[in-house]
Amino acid sequence: MSTRKSATIMKPLLFGVFSASVSVGAYAQSSVTLYGIADAGIEFLTGAPNAQGKASNLLREESGGAKSSRIGLKGSEDLGGGLKAIFQLEGGIDLTSGKSQQSGRLFGRQAYVGLSSRYGALTFGRQRVPMYDFSVAYDPLAYNIYGLKQTDGQFTGRADNSVKYKGRVGPVSYEALYSTGFDATIENGGEVPGAFKVGREIGAAVQYASGPFSAMVVYDLRNGTSVLTQSEKEQHLAAAATYQIGKAKGFVGYRWLSSTLPLDPTTQGHADEFWGGVSYRVIAPLTVAGAVFWTDITSAGQRPIYLAATAKYSLSKRTVLYSELGYVKNSHGSNLGLNGYDTDVVADHNQTGVMLGVTHYF
């Protein structure tokens, strides 16, 4: 075969290979983002237990006053036809010590991989439960260290070994989660052969948002974390709504809790919680908010009242100064503190707290 004929044949072949490689490169576009939040401040609390268990004042540095400190990686790869591979790895950090949070997990906040398309996203790993995902927007205090998330741990619940599906159709968003063992740090806490209910968690939520109005309903169920308690369950049902009027936004919400699990200082048999509040954008960089949370723990005859207010001032798009003021009135032995139940408060004592801090996004 002549050199000229060989060149004539090879040119289209090389062009075809080059074209195919270019199209594959464009076809499989991917991106990875490194991000994080650094947040810390000074907090003063009354009613905190001293070495003798007596109520005393406490002054300390605290991490995550307005937003929990974290660092993470997230990314996606375009697989074509609207289908993408997605992942996220996110770890909580205590800025006061540099330690990992979420029981020392490296990526305790989120660690998942999955696929997304116009039909929704299907993901696998350690993930936020629907009660967390859908309640954030309905806390008047935007999940600051004082506020809704301290009245019930499931408002920031996460589940190991979980599969989650979420999607949206017009103004309606929805989400469902199933976990074969929601806490992998517990010995035999889930995924026990022949005992499929051990550590199981099921969650579902739906939200409607259009114009100034939004509302959501969410349900969460967790089974006991041992073979003996696997048929016992803790259930949550929450509903909330918001309405925007100019610079002000109003919030109302309700949460029902029922548990047949063995009780300890951090669990309740039955409780109803109601909350309401308002946020107001005074000027472009300044936002203030206030809220009240009232819980009727009928299984213990306790009715703590939690009041809190916040102010945030943006120095830039990435740096925010904030202040928080809170007060909890306990009754009949209740132990709700500004930082949660049985946390930094002497049972049946009221607590006042204030915190000043700074948040930086990167």
Q: Is 38 inside any structural domain?
A: no
Q: Is 67 inside any structural domain?
A: yes
Mean predicted confidence (pLDDT) in 254-276: 87
Share of the chain above pLDDT 70, in %: 90
Q: Is 96 inside any structural domain?
A: yes
pLDDT digits (tens, 9 = 90+) for 92-142: 999 999 999 999 999 999 999 999 999 999 999 999 999 999 999 999 999
Question: Residue 14 has what pLDDT?
Answer: 35
Question: Residue 10 has what pLDDT?
Answer: 34
Q: How many residues does the chain have?
A: 362
Q: Is 43 inside any structural domain?
A: no
Mean predicted confidence (pLDDT) in 263-284: 88
pLDDT at residue 272 greater than cutoff 70? yes
- In the chain, how many domains are there? 1
Q: How far apart are CA 266 and CA 287, in angstroms?
A: 33
Q: Is 32 inside any structural domain?
A: no
Question: Residue 343 has what pLDDT?
Answer: 83
Mean predicted confidence (pLDDT) in 57-77: 97
Q: How far apart are CA 169 and CA 112, in angstroms?
A: 24
pLDDT digits (tens, 9 = 90+) for 160-171: 999 999 999 999
Of 149, 143, 179, which is closest to residue 322 (Cα–Cα)?
143
From the CB of residue 56, how many other CB atoms can be counted at a distance below 10 Å? 14
Residue 247, domain extent: 48-361
pLDDT at residue 315 greater than cutoff 50? yes
| 345: three-class secondary structure by DSSP | coil
Q: For residue 155, what is the DSSP state?
A: G
Q: Is 266 exposed, middle or buried (0-12, 13-18, 19+ CB in 10 A)?
A: exposed
Helix ranges, 28-185 (H): 130-135
Q: How far apart are CA 38 and CA 359, in angstroms?
A: 6
Question: Residue 93 has what pLDDT?
Answer: 97
Q: Is 10 inside any structural domain?
A: no
Pairing of strands 55-63, 248-259: unpaired
Q: Is 139 inside any structural domain?
A: yes
Q: How far apart are CA 252 and CA 235, in angstroms?
A: 21
Among 6-10, 74-78, 301-305, the least confident range = 6-10
Tell me the pTM.
0.89
Question: Residue 13 has what pLDDT?
Answer: 35
Question: Residue 326 has what pLDDT?
Answer: 98
pLDDT at residue 216 greater than cutoff 50? yes
Q: Is 169 inside any structural domain?
A: yes
Q: How far apart are CA 119 and CA 244, in angstroms?
A: 29
CATH number at residue 334: 2.40.160.10
The pLDDT-based confidence of 354 (bands split at 50, 70, 90) is very high
Question: Residue 264 has what pLDDT?
Answer: 63
The pLDDT-based confidence of 28 (bands split at 50, 70, 90) is low
Question: Residue 251 has what pLDDT?
Answer: 98
